[in-house]
Structure 1
């Protein structure tokens, strides 16, 4: 495995035309012996503090041991921006990409993702061996990506802080609100609500991913139409906005400094104990626990309007660049990365892997894997999937700014809704 820097990636792309001409004179056998796949991923193999990175390295090493004629160059792309530019511009690399469920419509709209339906059928990948039906990953009936893991929001909380305040993990938003009186005046944030834009793909992704993607569609509703239009109602928006504004105001459970938090600050607050609780990504639980959380960090199902409500689940997916010159080798790699064997290795990094059959691996019978086994059951029991907009970053940016104005300048939920609709509709029209 070789790690490819962004600068080297750009130079390699520029030289691709020359390289293609050279390859034309190489025999098929020589070409097969030197096939390289550029794999774009947000996980840096050099990050020894992230167990997911170590698991990814084990997966790639195992693949290359089985397929010595295919070499994997890892392109570290923490925000996904490099892959986005490459796919939109029609570049031949990276060959294989990782993309969130929210980002798939945007990538697929370029026409530069390879359709995988025939390949899945040819190689007999069972569609019923996923925690949620593989059909949920299709867009317009076509499969462009395959889920590698599923992500459902969970409540992170510090046991010692909850014990001191005399509270139990809340199951509803009303119970979250009631925590404010229990904690009283404190330097600790009882319940953090991130409205900021750091980390993630851009905009207030943490707010959208962990809270509003479930609150706005409500139960059995929709988030966006297949054309990217907003599908949730004004009533559901106002209900969600009033709930979150209440956390900052009447409930006294979320101080104003939480409004500037994005992914990064929320992670740091949970890691350091600056926040007693927050709804966050289960995929970061092991990392927070290994950094400073330790045995004091615990989790529970995320709160909702009613206990046991459905929660919006999304996945990190793997797909193939349609412009890749190495589609066959790319599929060989993708097929391995979603296999039960590879998924069992991925689980060691803390992921809730997508294949049901992977959960028979010995790891899930150990103490280390017991939480992930429970999370997989939570995905099956309470998970719901949504259709996302092809301009998800624009949406999250507009959403976060509208919520910040509502909180910091005491605006109304109705005004925040009007701002969102006006700006989002304009952005969607421009994108189309």
Structure 2
């Protein structure tokens, strides 16, 4: 994949080490971690924070086979909210043993000493991943997590609604806007999708597809380009759809949006390859009505897509049993049976090399029973997905700026391009405050 995984690991590590107080692996050492197979010959209890639906079924497989190392799963939050909870818990020295972390959040958690270097415990497991994938979880040559999945951005659409109103599955963004206009004309109460100002993940994937790099670095000097021409092209496009009434303005994952997704008020969803796992909870009455296609392109024939999410599973600095925690993390994402269970229950597209050839990928996700080639489509688009060449050290500030600026733009009818300018200003101001050199 042409993503930040291909070259940012060593670069970002050096920059973080130069710019931040690097404390990973130190903050939790006061618990005297036990590196043996069990705690003084007794049972080890591990806590695991994860937001995946049905992960409990996968954890149950581990617990049944490993009576001496019991994993207790909880779901305190997801994405950025989980990161905030992890930092708070670490400051109070009561963090979990294990936590799922999105790739873009890992550098900040490492620099704040929240997650632990698990290189010594994962030498066998890392052989199950190609270098491009593993580099998403390596800093300064050290392993800070085991990759779980890759999440190329795709177009999920209601096949029944498209058929009812004679819509074509769009292959370009120009065609997407045309089909949205046709749908609005034929069914004013049905919108093609929504513009989500609450979750920046989908928008960053769209600007990645357009070729944007919000952060770049040379040595210890950073450049921030959130409001560059590629990003503004995407922003202007969506501003046009919003102002023409072709897409809704409410946030995804809200009760209102869930209802709209369930009752057919929304005809498509731009999401990561993990979407089928979420649709059952979002729109339970629509099973079998969705299909997936490659993301529309800016230029006909271009296969480039962006990424929304993708995660690693980490061992925290607060764990008193890092060896056992790393054993579970390695099993979860490199053991074929465990990976197959995640595909079946969570609909991940595996990060492990062998996982991408598992027989279970020949079957569709449970919520998309009418699309047996779903994972073949994912396999088709994944090699052409790209992320930013490097994620910035203050992603949470940037993401919060997105929510504030685009939320205000939707409410006030102001320019989406100006919203990007605001995010640019807040991100650079924060980096300067943190002591980074900007070029």
| 1:72, distance to aligned residue in structure 2 (A) | 1.1
Aligned length: 384
**Match for residue 75 of structure 1?**
74
Inter-partner Cα distance in structure 1 for 2:37 and 2:129: 37
| 1:376, distance to aligned residue in structure 2 (A) | 4.0
Inter-partner Cα distance in structure 2 for 1:253 and 1:400: 21
Change (3 A) 1:278 1:336: same
Of 259, 266, 270 in structure 1, the residue corresponding to residue 249 of structure 2 is: 259
Post-superposition Cα deviations, 1:73-98, rounded to whole Å, max 9, x if no partner, equal: 223212314323223x1725311111
Does the CA-based 8 Å contact 1:344-1:359 persist in structure 2? Answer: no
Q: What SS is found at the alignment partner of 1:103? A: helix
**Match for residue 117 of structure 2?**
115
Inter-partner Cα distance in structure 2 for 1:125 and 1:401: 39
| 1:247, distance to aligned residue in structure 2 (A) | 0.8
Q: What SS is found at the alignment partner of 1:156? A: strand
Matches within 5 A, 1:12-411: 31-43=40-52, 52-53=53-54, 56-79=55-78, 80=82, 81-87=84-90, 89=91, 91=93, 93-121=95-123, 123=124, 125-126=126-127, 128-129=129-130, 133-183=133-183, 184=185, 186-195=188-197, 197=198, 205=199, 208-215=200-207, 218-219=210-211, 221-225=212-216, 230-232=224-226, 234-250=228-244, 252-254=245-247, 258-264=248-254, 265-288=256-279, 291-307=284-300, 308-313=302-307, 314-339=309-334, 340-349=336-345, 350-368=347-365, 370-386=372-388, 387-411=390-414
Q: What SS is found at the alignment partner of 2:127? A: coil
Does the CA-based 8 Å contact 1:148-1:354 persist in structure 2? Answer: yes
Does the CA-based 8 Å contact 1:34-1:71 persist in structure 2? Answer: yes
Does the CA-based 8 Å contact 1:150-1:379 persist in structure 2? Answer: no
Change (3 A) 1:38 1:156: same
Q: Unpaired runs of 5+ in structure 2?
A: 1-27, 367-371
Q: What SS is found at the alignment partner of 1:260? A: coil
| 1:385, distance to aligned residue in structure 2 (A) | 3.1
Q: Say which is worse superposed, 341-350 or 290-299, in terms of deviation.
A: 290-299
Inter-partner Cα distance in structure 1 for 2:434 and 2:48: 28
Q: What SS is found at the alignment partner of 1:102? A: helix
Matched, 1:428 2:431: yes
Change (3 A) 1:311 1:143: farther
Q: Unpaired runs of 5+ in structure 1?
A: 1-16, 44-51, 198-204
Inter-partner Cα distance in structure 2 for 1:302 and 1:389: 25
Inter-partner Cα distance in structure 2 for 1:408 and 1:32: 60
RMSD: 3.1
| 1:110, distance to aligned residue in structure 2 (A) | 0.5
Inter-partner Cα distance in structure 2 for 1:356 and 1:73: 28
| 1:58, distance to aligned residue in structure 2 (A) | 3.0
Change (3 A) 1:326 1:29: closer
Does the CA-based 8 Å contact 2:210-2:231 persist in structure 1? Answer: no
**Match for residue 48 of structure 1?**
none
Post-superposition Cα deviations, 1:289-328, rounded to whole Å, max 9, x if no partner, equal: 5711122222211223124342222412101112321111
| 1:119, distance to aligned residue in structure 2 (A) | 3.3
**Match for residue 415 of structure 2?**
412
| 1:172, distance to aligned residue in structure 2 (A) | 1.7
Inter-partner Cα distance in structure 2 for 1:280 and 1:269: 16
**Match for residue 8 of structure 1?**
none
Does the CA-based 8 Å contact 1:341-1:358 persist in structure 2? Answer: no
Q: What SS is found at the alignment partner of 1:416? A: helix
Does the CA-based 8 Å contact 1:115-1:143 persist in structure 2? Answer: yes
| 1:288, distance to aligned residue in structure 2 (A) | 1.9
Does the CA-based 8 Å contact 1:267-1:288 persist in structure 2? Answer: no
Change (3 A) 1:378 1:216: same
Q: What SS is found at the alignment partner of 1:225? A: strand
Does the CA-based 8 Å contact 1:92-1:325 persist in structure 2? Answer: no
Q: What SS is found at the alignment partner of 2:419? A: helix
Change (3 A) 1:385 1:146: farther
Does the CA-based 8 Å contact 1:403-1:416 persist in structure 2? Answer: yes
Post-superposition Cα deviations, 1:110-131, rounded to whole Å, max 9, x if no partner, equal: 023222334333x25325458x
| 1:141, distance to aligned residue in structure 2 (A) | 4.3
Does the CA-based 8 Å contact 1:39-1:72 persist in structure 2? Answer: yes
Does the CA-based 8 Å contact 2:87-2:114 persist in structure 1? Answer: no
